[in-house]
């Protein structure tokens, strides 16, 4: 997900997407331990998306404060 797309989301939508991404990351980590991950680079992509969402959330919170 691009930062531009993330900035267009509302804080509620961002929190929902963040929760979904974290769940997906946990599932991928478990599958990696078992050896069932088709695309290991997906772990890095999801971690970066989570970081982008957290950054945008903090920016929006700072802007409203």
Please report which helix (H) or strand (E) contains residue 7, including its range.
helix 3-7
pLDDT in tens, 4-52: 999 999 999 999 999 999 999 999 999 999 998 889 999 999 999 999 9
Q: Is 31 exposed, middle or buried (0-12, 13-18, 19+ CB in 10 A)?
A: middle
**Confidence (pLDDT) at 45:** 96
Q: Give how many domains the chain has, as a whole number.
A: 1
**Confidence (pLDDT) at 18:** 97
- Domain range holding 54? 3-64
Distance CA 46, CA 25 (A): 7
CATH number of the domain bearing residue 37: 1.10.287.310
């Amino acid at each position: 997900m691009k930062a531009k797309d993330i900035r267009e989301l509302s804080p509620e939508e961002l929190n929902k997407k963040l929760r979904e991404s974290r769940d997906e990351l946990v599932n991928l980590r478990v599958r990696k331990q078992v050896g069932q991950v088709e695309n290991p680079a997906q772990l890095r992509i999801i971690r970066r998306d989570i970081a982008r969402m957290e950054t945008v959330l903090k920016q929006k919170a700072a802007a409203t404060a």
